[in-house]
Chains A and B, each alone.
Chain A
Amino acid sequence: MDNNFGSKRLVVGAHYGLRDWMAQRATAVVMAAYTVILLVSFLSAKDFSYEGWAGMFAQQWFKLATFVTVIALIYHAWVGVRDVLMDYVHSAGTKLVLQVATLVWLIACAGWAAQILWRV
């Protein structure tokens, strides 16, 4: 393989590529870990009753783990959707509107998730 990466490579551009690339991986790892926690907690429960399900989310550590995952998801989705918009939407105005709409959508979802979690 050609060595087109590493310290000798001339880096050009806006410089957010590597940061977002890393963030995409880090947030994915957080969500994957949470998936395992959720599956283990859910499958180790005896039956799918309200008490069992809500009891899981009543624990503070579980709320925090869920919330951290939601934040990771928000960042992950932002980077992903922005990349898709950059690829397919070429008009700067439309792109700006869609990007702002994406952010509004995601932040609203994060707020709702917090409300859901902390009233259990």
Chain B
Amino acid sequence: MSDAAKNTRPQYRNIHIFQILGYRMPFAALVSILHRISGLLLFLFLPFILFLLDKSLLSEISFEYFRSFTSGWFVKLIILALSWAFLHHFCAGIRHVIMDFEYGLSKDGARRSAVSVLVISLPLAALVGLKLFGVF
């Protein structure tokens, strides 16, 4: 085969992580990629979560350290991001399991359940944020 013919052949691969922003995604695709991003976020911050658990449990002194550490706005922001990641991953995971039982597999059903995931997880994350930053 000549080189020219080789080069014109189209290649179909997964959407690369840097190409995602260039796509106009349907809700199901948005929920799917957020499922990955939230999962990866929780995976990478696992030591951070363990650090907080450790400080909160070790002793009364470390518990006080935990309280002052988590009162900073930046740490609160990280906790909010992780809370969102957990809530989204949780809701999208339940959607996965429901779809495994062959419910809502139609184009419209999948779109509606994807919207439901966002409608449930985002306000819950907002609530966590309001609580974290002392609104109530």
Task: Decide if B129 is an interface residue (CB 8 Å cutoff).
Answer: no
User: Which residue of chain A has its CB nearest to the CB of B18?
Assistant: A88
CA of A20 to CA of B16 in the docked complex: distance in angstroms?
A: 24
Q: What is the CA–CA distance of A81 and B39 in the complex, to the nearest angstrom?
A: 8
B53, A116: Cβ atoms under 8 Å?
yes
CB distance from B124 to the nearest CB of A (A): 12
Among candidates A32, A73, A88, A106, residue contacting B14 with C-beta atoms closer than 8 Å: A88
A112 partner residues in chain B, CB cutoff 8 A = 47, 50, 54
Q: A119 contacts which of B39, B56, B58, B105 (Cβ < 8 Å)?
A: B58
Q: Is the interface of B mostly helix, strand, loop or mixed?
A: helix
- Give the nearest-CB partner of B56 in chain A: A53
B43 touches which one: A32, A77, A113 (CB < 8 A)? A77
Q: Do residues B54 and A116 form an inter-chain contact, with CB atoms below 8 A?
A: yes
Residue of A nearest to B39 (CB): A80
Cα–Cα distance between A83 and B36 once the two chains are bound (Å): 10
CB distance from A118 to the nearest CB of B (A): 11
Q: Are A116 and B17 in contact (CB under 8 A)?
A: no
Distance of B107 from chain A, by nearest CB (Å): 12
Candidates B17, B39, B105; contact of A88 at CB < 8 Å: B17
**Could you tell me the distance between the alpha carbons of A32 and B93 in the complex, rounded to whole angstroms?**
10
Against B, the Cβ 8 Å flags (1 = close, 0 = not) of A77-106 are 100110010011000000000000010011
Please list the 9 inter-chain residue pairs (A to B) with the smallest Cβ-Cβ separation, ordered nearest first: A50-B63, A116-B54, A87-B14, A50-B60, A77-B43, A109-B46, A120-B57, A80-B39, A28-B93
Footprint of B on A, CB under 8 Å?
Answer: 1, 25, 28, 32, 35, 50, 53-54, 57, 73, 77, 80-81, 84, 87-88, 102, 105-106, 109, 112-113, 116, 119-120
Task: Please give 7 more A-B residue pairs, beta carbons under 8 A apart, in addition to A77-B46, A102-B43, A113-B50.
Answer: A28-B97, A32-B93, A53-B63, A84-B39, A88-B14, A105-B46, A109-B46
Offer 23 A-B interface pairs, CB within 8 angstroms, sorted by A.
A32-B90, A35-B90, A53-B56, A53-B57, A54-B57, A54-B63, A57-B57, A73-B46, A77-B43, A77-B46, A80-B40, A84-B39, A88-B14, A88-B16, A102-B43, A105-B46, A109-B47, A112-B50, A113-B53, A116-B50, A116-B57, A120-B57, A120-B58
